[in-house]
Amino acid sequence: MEYKDYYRILGVDRNADEKEIRRAYRRLARQYHPDVNPGDKQAEERFKEVNEAYEVLGDAEKREKYDRLGADWQRWQRMGGDPQGFDWSRWTGTAPGGGRIHVEYADLSDLFGGQGSPFSDFFSTLFGDVGREPRTDWFAGTQRRPRRGQDVVQPVQITLEEAYHGTQRILQSDGRRLEVQIPPGVRTGSKVRVKGEGGVSTTGGARGDLFLQVEVQPHPTFERRGDDLYCDVPVDLYTAVLGGEVRVPRLGGQPLVLRIPPGTQGGRTFRLQGMGMPRLHQPDQHGHLYAQVRIVIPQDLTPREKELFEELARLRNQGRSK
């Protein structure tokens, strides 16, 4: 059996933290996703390999066991041992936590009623024969109880406007049409659970669940930080000096009118309370909108305008010299 170097597969150091591992996984999953590489068998195999690596390194218990195996394997190699002669028996066992699997697939038709396991023999040896027919040799001649089907994570991209109002996605499953509601306030990393619409159990158990993992796309006007929104507000020089009103864009509604005090400096930030994103599971509550002033210097001055600015400069200099 071939040893799998999951750190090499994800391209991360063995001391990488959870965020580094998750970031590497997301990048590679997008790169090799079957939707991006239709009909490419090599990309499909690479996609499965990346998911398997993340299933182990993204789970603290599995990673701890895998690291212990890795140390044992490296000692065996340093001693000049034949890879075919390595003793795998002490490492066999079931997955921690009941074998929770969170594998991304591109085509939902592959998830429902598909045959076989998406995991390698190496994974199955370490963490259990997940997704295949029950085996008896690891369990002293007794079969396991039926297992749930695999939980499945399906990535989905939405706009910031959709995250503000809530939206839905239409999926096809076994010829059925699924309408999945995505609630207001979701953010990148949020998961929407669809109970019983995951992988089919091959051991007579219940189906797993389907999770839509949300990625909110960047917005050209607003930057989101938690439930707060930030934006730049252009303010002309005259309004900044003399005071006045400007319009502030608002997500999910008409622009707001903001009063600018005389002498406002560039970079000053105004907080518009309750005008940010709705809070997940509490859509009647909102974060804040922060509007930062960006002074706009007038261009293409007429001779008369330039003359007036020069006169203003002289007056200011005379006032300072007194």
Task: Give the C-alpha separation, 241 to 66, whole Å.
Answer: 65
Cβ count within 10 A of residue 9: 20
Residue 187 confidence (pLDDT): 93
**pLDDT at residue 136 in the model:** 31
What are the residues facing 220 on neighbouring strands? none
Please report the pLDDT score of residue 152 as a whole number: 86
Partner residues linked to 320 by β-bridges: none
**What is 223-317's CATH number?**
2.60.260.20
pLDDT along the chain (322 residues), means of 10: 83 92 91 83 88 88 81 60 52 42 37 50 64 34 61 91 94 80 94 86 80 93 96 96 96 92 96 95 94 94 92 84 62
Output the pLDDT for position 74. Answer: 62
Strand partners, 177: 172
Which amino acid does the sequence have at 205? G
How far is Cα 144 from Cα 132, in angstroms, rounded to an integer?
Answer: 11
CB atoms within 10 A of CB 312: 11
Question: How far is 240 from 296, CA to CA, in rounded Å?
Answer: 9
Per-residue pLDDT at 267: 96
Write down the pLDDT at residue 185.
95
